[in-house]
Structure formats: C-alpha cells, structure tokens
Structure 1
Amino acid sequence: MTAVKTPKICLAGIKKDEDLSESKLNEMIAQSVQINPRNQVIGHPVTTKSNDGRAPRLAMMTGNLWKPGSVLNVSFRDGTQWQKNQVKKYAPLWIEHANLKFKFFDTYDKSVTIHILITFDPKGGSWSLSGTESASAIWWLGQTSMNLDNINPDSSEVDMRQRILHEFGHALGAAHEHQSPRCTIPWNKEAIYAAFKGTNMTKKEIDNNILNPKTMNEAQATRFDPDSIMLYYYPPQYTLDGKGTNYNVELSATDKAYMRFCYPPQATEVGYFDTMEVSPDKARSQYKAEKSYHEDINPSREAFTAQIATWEDSILNSAGMTWLAAGPKFDFLQMGVVDLGDIFRWGYNKARNWTWVSFPDKFSTQPKVVCFIRTLDLDNKANWRFKTYASNVSTKGFYMNINSEGDTIMQGAKVSWVAYPEDRPGITSGHFSTADVQSSEDPQAQNNATQKFDKQFADMPQVLVALDEIDFDCKEGLRVRVGTSMVTETGFDWNLETWEDSIMYGAGASYIAWGEPARKSEGLTFV
C-alpha cells in the first residue's frame, strides 16, 4: 500500500485553553469511577491537567475505561448525512472485539445522555478525548469530544477508515502506540519540529503527542505493536535510523486483544468499590454503597453493602476495595479472616505474630493459600511496615503470619485468606513486590513489571489483586495503589505506585487468576 504523503497527528486530552480547576478535575475523575468502578485498578490514569499544569489530586488513582456491557450513545454536532454514515460504517469495527455497543443519534439532543459527541471541522485537526474523558467534556464543559477532519468525498476510503478507527480507539481508552512506554523509535526531533513548524501546534504539544513516551502508569503497557491502528505513519526522515513507521489502516491482533482486556465479554466475579463513588472531595470516616452480585452468584440475594471506614483521629481522603463473589462455581475454594486480636498469646505491638488456621474441610491434595490485607491499625509515631503471608501449608491447615518490621507500632490488623487445590486446572496465584524492581534504599514512586502465570490459560483470565505488604515513611501520608494492565493468557503487567509527597520504601501484593485452562491436542497448545 502506498503511504500517505504527509504524516497524520492527533491531539488527545482536554483542550489546553480550558481553565479547569483542581476540584473540577477531581469531579471528572470521580465520574470516571462512577461510570466504571474497575477504573480504580486499571493502570491507565486520566491524562487531563489543569491550565497551570497541576495534576488533579486523584490522578494517580483512576483509569478512563467505559464499563463493559455499556451502550455508548454517539451523536454529531454537525456534518452531512454522508459523513455521519462513514462513522457508522467504520467505528463499529472496534465493537466486534469489545463488550460494548454504539447507539447513533444523527442530531445532538441535550435531553439525551451522550457519551461521544463528534464534529467535522476540516480545519480543526484530528483528535479525540480518551475514554470517559469524552463524557466529562460533554457533561461538564459542553464540548464536543472528537473531531474528524478530511471526512469528505475527496478523501480515499482507506484514509477515512484509518482516521475514524484511530480516533475511536482513543474514545475507547487506547493511547498512541508511538508513545508506548515500550516504544523505542529513535526520533529525529529536529526534523519533526521543522515539519510541524507553522502549524497551530506548539513545541510542547509536539513533545506531548509525538516525542515523549507515556510512563507505565499512564498507558496500557503491552509490547510495542508496529501494526497498531493507534500508530500514526511517520516517514523515514522523522527517525534517526531511517525506518519510519507503517501506515496502518486495519485493527491489529494486539488492538483486538487490547479491547478484549478492557471490555471482556464475560461477566466478572471480581467487584470494586471506591470512596470516590460516594464523595470525590470531602474526607469522611465511613463510606458505604450498595453493590450487586453477579446474577449467577447469589440469585436469592441481589445486593450487599460494601464499606470502607476509618476511626478515631485518622483522616481517610480516598480508598478502594476489591472482592471476589464466590458462587457455586468456586465450591473448591476455602476462605476466612484472621484477626490479630484473636492471637491472645502474643497480644498487640509484637513484631512477629502467627496462629494456626485449620481448614473447615481437609484438602485431598496440597493447597495453595493467598493472603490479603483487610484492616490495618498502625501508629503514626513510627514508619508503617506490615506484611502478611501463609507458611507451613498442609492439607489440614497453615500458619497465618501477621508481622510488622522495625519500630512499627501495630495496634491491630485483619487478614483475609483464600485456599484452593494447587493441582486444580484453570486457577493460579502468586506474589509480586517493589523488591522485584527496586531497592528500599532507593525508593521510587512508580514500580512496574510483568508477572508470568505458572499455568497457561486458553483465553484472558480474570485476576484479583490486593495488597499484602507495605513499607512507608510515617512523616507523610500513606498513599499506595496496586493496579494491573493488559492481562493476557500468559500473565499481566502490574504497577505499585505512590504519589505526591509519600515515601514508599516498599509494597507488595498477591493475586489469584482463574479462567479456562489451555488445552493440548496432538502436542500443540491452543491459546
């Protein structure tokens, strides 16, 4: 295919000339969590910043993906019927691989909740807001969320398909592939600055939309895909090695896999609750929300109350929780909670605490036990160091360890545990921590790596991740987030991060993954 003569570029994010207050940004972020609570654990935070460059207080804590199964209402601010029909023709190609639906409205009606609002300004460039930012721009700012230039009868069908697919990729939460944290394109910066000189783009916008890669916490961190529709064409002279990039006009295999990760077809047994759903700005001591079970989990009981709370003089600015709704399909699981207060012989404030936990039913084969933090009560007079894990696991039970380190003063703790047969197909678990990628003597705010499963799945599994250890300086606030990005049949990318002035010497988390096990036939593994 003949490459286009001039490179295409689009701008993502709320327009730079909008005066967005920090509180308004926080409201928009909270709205993202309300639209899809799973955004609290997706490693893809919103990219919006205020006019003076300040990032919102909660920016490190939320993604901008739509809720799987949603119907997204798409409308047009202007355009001919022919232009609208081109969008209706090509945009649904994404939906073939995502658990979403589009409903198109030819005329913009403010009485209808619109999620994506399109204009066809031929001089406005090509751009789209990312994911739920689109809805925020429409609802809060009264803006359009996407512009499609050069959608006209004089444009080739190939160019129009590429432009529409690319911008709708942004609208569904995908970032530019050439800004992937794993992209190693050697840009010829001077050539790029010269090529875009005279346009309405500033040097900063060129840097932000072409040259500067996203960090691992800003984008879904798959391996770089040279065939992605989210990779724009750049000619050989724009790179130091003279290779340039492909002019991609179709969805690649990775593009399709990305959609399946973001918008899985199956209902999930993993649930989420974030305090931003209740109060995005004002701190409370208690947050509650009614949550629904998966329809197959507990038909006799449709909902339960999710609760996050603190007590006495502690200040809880924001927090999130996750859970597994274990119905009949998980009848092989055993689970429970251990309270530090029940370990009477050691009492409180001891660094090493353990107790024997007997399984309600003896396992017939060796089980695996996964532990998660449920409640913590640590004094702020010393650094916060806590770790929980299982040891001496047998078919009858295990020792639960609830430990602090150094001079940490532990007033109380509760730990949840889950056990399953180690040899059972279709389920696996493990642990990861900042120690895998950094030293506690050189603490970093962002920590990322790839976790490989010890079993392979036939398709993308479901994954439950939760903290099991922390090591923070008590002089500043305790801010920690564990998230995942791009779950595949063989593993996932994880991130452990803090923000603002918090000092994270270390943190760790455990995970459980389950799904359809990979099948072998005639010596081949089908995945």
Structure 2
Amino acid sequence: MVHLDTPCPDTGIFTTEEVRPRSKPCKSTSRIVSLPRNHYKEPPNLAAGFRSLDLSSEAPVRANLVADKITTDSFRITLETWGDRSILYSASATWIEHKANAKDCLFGQFDTHDLPANHGASKRGAQQENSRNFTFPQAFKEDCDIICWLNRIDMASGDRNYRIRAYATNISRTGFTAHIDTWGDSLLFGGAMCWIAFPKRKRYVQAGSFQTGDVRSWSNPIPETKSQVKFEAGAFKSHRPAPTVLCALNMIDMAGNADLRVAVDVRDIDTQGFRWSLKTFEDSTLYAAGASWIALGFA
C-alpha cells in the first residue's frame, strides 16, 4: 500500500500517479484530500467513479474505489485491487460532494454483492444482469435525472472480453431501478456504481452521457474517439466562469486479449459546452465505452 497523507486541494479528480509512478504498481494507492475550509458544518456526502483504469490481463481485472475517513475538513480517497495476481498499474477517479441532508441532490451506491443470495447469481457472484430498485427518502417535486458512475469491477480476463455497463431505468420522482450488466461471453464476478439524483431543472446544473457509439460503430475500434457536448441554450450565463464538468465511466467494452486500459477526458470547457474523448493505448482494443457527466455552474 502507498499512501500520501499530505493533503491535496479538492479538484474533483485523483490519479494514482500523484502518489506513485505507473511502473510501480501496488495493491492500494491513496491520499488525503482537503475540503474547502469552513464550508461544511458536518461531514459531507460523496459519490465517486472511475475516470481511467490500467489493469493487467494476467488475472481477473479487479479495481475498487473508496472514499472514507470523511470529516468536515478532509477525506481519504483510495484506488485498489486485490487477489494474488491482479495488478493495478494506474487509475484515476472523479468525485462530487454535497452537504449532508441536502434534499435537492441525493447520492447512493449499488453493489452486486449486496443482492440477496436467491437473486440468481452463482457462488462467486457471476451473473450477466443485476438490478435493484431504489426508493428516494423523499419524493422530488419535479422530474429528476440519474447519473451512474462505475466504481468497482471484478471480471474474468483471458479469452473473455471486458464488458460492463451501469445505468438507470424506470426513473420517477419517487425512485428508479439501478443496473450493472455484462453480455456476450464476458464473466462479471461483481461490480458497483454510485448514483446521483437531482431535479432536471436545477439551476446552473446540466448532466448527460456520451459514448463512442455516438461517433462510430462498435465494429470500428480505434484508440481514441472524440466529440463534443453542447449545453442547453442559456443553461450557463456567458458572463460567468465556465462550469465545472465532472465525468466518469459508465460502460466498457474491450477485447480481453490484452490489458484493460481505458480513460475518459473532458477539455475545452466553456459556458456553451465541452469536448470529450474516450481512449485506450498500446495493444488494447476499445470496441466501445461510455461516460456520464454533470456540469456545475456555481461555486
């Protein structure tokens, strides 16, 4: 385990390479993040997801993201793997926080390991479709959006492709259904996602998803796929600073004959929109990938 207890500022992004080089993988990499001073009277709620993953294919591909030791001033963020042969070369994460007991934004977590034993999964938890219904503590007064970010994966490697998708259906003002699925010959031992729910018309907030399929077909894999997102007209005032865009992966579809290497990036952010890319590198093949984003136009 490698841990850096020197606090870094709250930027919404953490990468293992802030703590150690990619060439020195270890089971757990973490650091302390400072929250804005005097901003929270009690520990805030956090939601976090994978922004990038670089995992060896020599064993099951396993990665987990944890945010804990949360106080009013700081928290610890950890990216980790487990098992005798699993190797995490590097990874990065995105997080978002809000005040405890906030009613206009809700966070939650769905982990396939929390499903009941009679859900149909095998002893090791391998199942292609996993879902759970969530009911909000208090119904929203208007329609809401749900953002899903992957934050744990445990999949077979070798001849089986890496396929996982986190998404929401049956969204209403009172709740929704969360899903973590795989398909084809892929073997998903387990997975987890965070979810973020908020009103569709929340001021100075925009959200959505994008994927490689918006630009190219699954059958035409390339190392990097790029495009752009345009915000709704007038969502962010032109005289204000550009909004903060937080983005994490919600879907991966890669060949299993090489390491799992995938990343999402956003750049050129202004009040009109931003540019995004989904990419891999070296000998990995990225058939498809997707991500969800939330743009915040207030401090």
TM-score when normalising by structure 1: 0.46
More helix by share: 1
When residues 334 and 311 of structure 1 are mapped into structure 2, their CA distance, relative to the original with a 3 A threshold, is same
Deviation of 1:452 (Å): 1.1
Say yes or no: does 1:370 pair with 2:147. yes
2:75 is aligned with 1:304: yes
Aligned counterpart for 1:385 among listed residues 148, 154, 163: 163
* Cα distance change, pair 269–390 in 1 and its aligned pair in 2 (3 A): farther
Query: Out of 211, 235, 253, which is 1:433 matched to?
Result: 211
> Residue 457 in 1 paired to residue 236 in 2?
yes
Query: More strand per residue: 1 or 2?
Result: 2
Deviation at 1:279, TM superposition (A): 1.1
Specify the alignment match of 1:283 in structure 2: 25
Residue aligned with 1:341, SS: helix
Q: Secondary structure at the match of 1:435?
A: helix
Change (3 A) 1:354 1:304: same
Q: How do 1:250-329 and structure 2 match up within 5 A?
A: 270-280=11-21, 281-298=23-40, 301-312=72-83, 313-327=85-99
Deviation at 1:368, TM superposition (A): 0.8
**Counterpart secondary structure, 1:332:** coil
* Structure 2 residue 126 is matched with structure 1 residue 349: yes
CA distance, structure 1, for counterparts of residue 109 and residue 101 of structure 2: 21
Equivalent of 2:110 in 324, 334, 338:
338
Give matches, 1:205-284, under 5 Å. 270-280=11-21, 281-284=23-26
Cα distance in 2 for residues equivalent to 1:323 and 1:421: 19
The Cα shift of 1:295 comes to 2.2
Kept in 2, the 8 Å contact 1:453–1:491? The answer is yes
The code of the aligned residue for 1:288 comes to S
Q: Structure 1 residues 492 and 319, CA, compared in 2 at 3 Å: closer, same or farther?
A: same
Which residues of 2 match residues 10-25 of structure 1 at below 5 A?
none
Q: Which amino acid aligns with 1:393?
A: I
Query: Do the aligned residues in 2 keep the contact of 1:431 with 1:511 (CA within 8 Å)?
Result: yes
Cα contact 2:143–2:200 (8 A) shared by 1: yes
SS at structure 1 position matched to 2:12: strand
Measure the CA separation in 2 of the matches of 1:498 and 1:355. Answer: 31
Structure 1 residue 278: Cα displacement: 1.5
1:500 has 2:282 as partner: yes
Q: Which amino acid aligns with 2:105?
A: L
The unaligned stretches of length 5 or more in structure 2 are: 1-7, 43-71
What is the CA deviation profile of residues 231-282 of structure 1, one whole-angstrom value per residue up to 9, with x for unaligned ones? xxxxxxxxxxxxxxxxxxxxxxxxxxxxxxxxxxxxx964221111111131
Structure 1 contact 269–324 (Cα < 8 Å) conserved: no
Distance in 1 between residues matched to 2:173 and 2:111, nearest whole Å: 22
Match 1:399 to one of 148, 173, 177 = 177
Give the one of 180, 186, 209 matched to 1:408: 186
* Deviations 1:329-373 (CA, angstroms, capped at 9, x unpaired): 965100100111122213232222211011122111111111000
* Runs of 4+ deviating beyond 6 Å: none
Q: Let me know the Cα RMSD of the aligned residues.
A: 1.9
Decide whether the 8 Å contact of 2:168 with 2:176 is kept in 1: yes
CA deviation map 1:82-111 (0-9, x unaligned): xxxxxxxxxxxxxxxxxxxxxxxxxxxxxx
Q: Map 1:185-196 to 2 at 5 A.
A: none
Secondary structure, counterpart of 2:252 in structure 1: strand
In structure 1, the residue matched to 2:199 is 421
Deviation at 1:325, TM superposition (A): 2.3
1:33-65 superposed Cα distances (whole Å, 9 cap, x missing partner)? xxxx8xxxxxxxxxxxxxxxxxxxxxxxxxxxx
Task: Give the structure 1 partner of residue 252 of structure 2.
Answer: 470
Specify the alignment match of 2:58 in structure 1.
Answer: none
**1:443/1:296 CA distance change after superposition, 3 Å:** farther
In structure 2, the CA distance between the partners of 1:464 and 1:330, relative to structure 1 (3 Å rule), is: farther
SS in 1 for 2:17: helix
* Displacement after TM superposition at 1:395 (Å): 1.0
Kept in 2, the 8 Å contact 1:270–1:325? The answer is no
What is the SS of the residue equivalent to 1:376?
strand
Q: Is the 2:161–2:256 Cα contact (8 Å) retained in structure 1?
A: yes
Residues 341-350 or 355-364, more deviating = 341-350
- 1:468–1:508 contact (8 Å) kept in structure 2: yes
Q: Does the Cα contact within 8 Å between 1:269 and 1:326 map onto a contact in 2?
A: no
Aligned residue type for 1:285: K
Question: How many Å separate the matches in 2 of 1:360 and 1:269?
Answer: 28
The letter for the 2-side match of 1:318 is S
Distance 2:143 2:38 in 1: 29
Q: How far does residue 297 in structure 1 lie from its aligned partner after superposition?
A: 3.7
SS in 1 for 2:269: coil
Where relative contact order (Cα < 8 A, 6+ residues apart) is larger, the structure is 2
Q: 1:468 to 1:419 in 2, by over 3 A?
A: same
- SS of 1:481's equivalent? strand
1:434–1:451 distance in 2 versus 1, CA, 3 Å: same
- Asked whether the 8 Å contact 1:270–1:464 carries over to 2, the reply is no
CA displacement 1:145-183 (0-9 Å, x = unmatched): xxxxxxxxxxxxxxxxxxxxxxxxxxxxxxxxxxxxxxx
Q: Could you tell me whether the CA contact under 8 Å between 1:297 and 1:326 is conserved in 2? A: no
- For residue 152 of structure 2, give the secondary structure of its aligned residue in structure 1: strand
- Against the structure 1 CA distance between its residues 328 and 340, is the aligned structure 2 distance closer, same or farther, given a 3 Å change threshold? closer
